[in-house]
Amino acid sequence: MEDYQEKISLLQEMISFALVDGELHDREYDFIEMVAMELEVDKSTLHKLFDKKNESKVIKDEFHRICQFYRLALLMHSDGILHDAETIKINEIGINMGLNPYAMKRVLHLMKQSPNGMVDGDVLLSVFSEQHN
């Protein structure tokens, strides 16, 4: 992660995505809070982000874009309810990040098929790298 503003932008994008279905579930909040702790963003700053509507900062590195897409996908599955609006929004976000739509679709399918809703990191990266060939 390059700088603090990029971390804030990632969290804002996650918050915006979590609210796409009209409500913030406890499990979604817990997941966002966990990511914030991992990114070393304090709780008071995180709470302020729920009130802000800033534009997202473009992630330059493809690896970090894939990681953010996966974070959003995990967030999407965290409440146990998959809304059509979430699926549409995550695809829009991924395309705006410049990710391959077929790879995104495959990752989402793998997550849906997984008993715990997760995909191994090596599998995640290989799905996206397959599309480069």
Which pLDDT score, from 0 to 100, does residue 126 have?
A: 93
Helices (H) and strands (E) in the chain, counts: 7, 0
Pairwise CA distance, residues 13 & 28, whole Å: 13
Round the average pLDDT of the chain to a whole number and report it. 87
Q: Rounded to the nearest 5 degrees, what angle is found at the Cα of 67, between the Cα atoms of 79 and 73? A: 25
64-87: per-residue pLDDT in tens?
899 999 999 999 888 887 888 888
- The CA-atom distances, in angstroms, between 53 and each of 14, 50, 84 are 12, 8, 23
Ranges in the chain, pLDDT < 70: 1-2, 53-58, 131-133
Q: What angle do CA 91, 100, 104 make, to 5 degrees?
A: 50
pLDDT of residue 18: 87
Three-class secondary structure of residue 6 per DSSP: helix
The structure tokens listed for 58 are 């473009």
Q: What CA–CA distance (Å, rounded) separates 7 from 67?
A: 12
Assess contact for 5 and 13: CB atoms under 8 A.
no
User: In the prediction, which pLDDT does 56 show?
Assistant: 60
pLDDT of residue 132: 67
Please tell me the predicted confidence (pLDDT) of residue 83. Answer: 82
> Which pLDDT score, from 0 to 100, does residue 54 have?
56
